[in-house]
Amino acid sequence: MKKYVFLISFLLFLSPVFAQQVSNVSFEVFENRVEIYYDLSGKDGSEFEVSLSLKRDEFSGFVFVPKTVVGHIGKNIHPGIKKKIVWEMKKDYHIDPEVSDYYFEVLAKEKSSSSFWYYVAGTVLAGGGAAAILLSKKKDSPAETAQSIGAAPDRP
């Protein structure tokens, strides 16, 4: 029972690290470019590293990372609404006009040191909890005592 309580409290402790930060992803296709819009939530002053990938609904293994992008992408991106990324698609990829299941995935990873401390604290808690569980186990067998085996035999 203690194991489950520890595991649940550990996951709740780390939940701020995995909080949803990107929402309302949409895009508009123009002749030579695609404009991708998204909202990024976070504390004032926080910075994120934002990445973009093109995916397909019907083919989960399809992932294309656009290279010719500008705007609110990369490092040092601050929270806000209607963030914009412009992708010069004709320079990177030929979009098949017959395919209609493309979508964009925008990921944001918080760049501040606070998330580092969540990992450190989580590791310490996990190690401490595991040690506590191992040390608190009841021993069913009697304690063993050391026995002398005598001196080593003489060599000829």
**Quick check: is 129 in a domain?**
no
Q: What is the mean pLDDT of residues 58-72?
A: 95
Predicted pLDDT at 111: 81
Domain, as residue range, for 41 = 22-111
**150 assigned to some structural domain:** no
Segment 82-111, tens digit of pLDDT: 999 999 999 988 888 888 899 999 999 998
Within-domain flag for 118: no
In this prediction, residue 38 has a pLDDT band, given cuts at 50, 70 and 90, of: very high
d(CA 125, CA 129): 6
Q: Does residue 33 lie within any of the structural domains?
A: yes
Mean pLDDT of the chain: 75
Is residue 81 in some structural domain? yes
Tell whether 138 is covered by a domain. no
Pick the range with the lowest mean pLDDT from 1-15, 42-56, 93-107: 1-15
d(CA 92, CA 87): 9
Q: Is the pLDDT of residue 121 over 80?
A: no
CB-based burial, 85-102: b 16+ in 10 Å, e otherwise: bbbebeeebeeeeeeeeb
The verdict on residue 141 lying in a domain is: no
Q: What is the pLDDT of residue 113?
A: 53
Total structural domains in the chain? 1
pLDDT band at 57 (very low <50, low <70, confident <90, very high): very high
Using CA atoms, how far apart are residues 71 and 155, in angstroms rounded to an integer?
A: 81
65: pLDDT strictly greater than 90: yes
Alpha-carbon torsion 55, 56, 57, 63, what sign?
negative
Q: Is residue 58 situated within a structural domain?
A: yes
Nearest of 23, 19, 22, 100 to residue 59 by alpha carbon: 100
76 or 116, which is more confident: 76
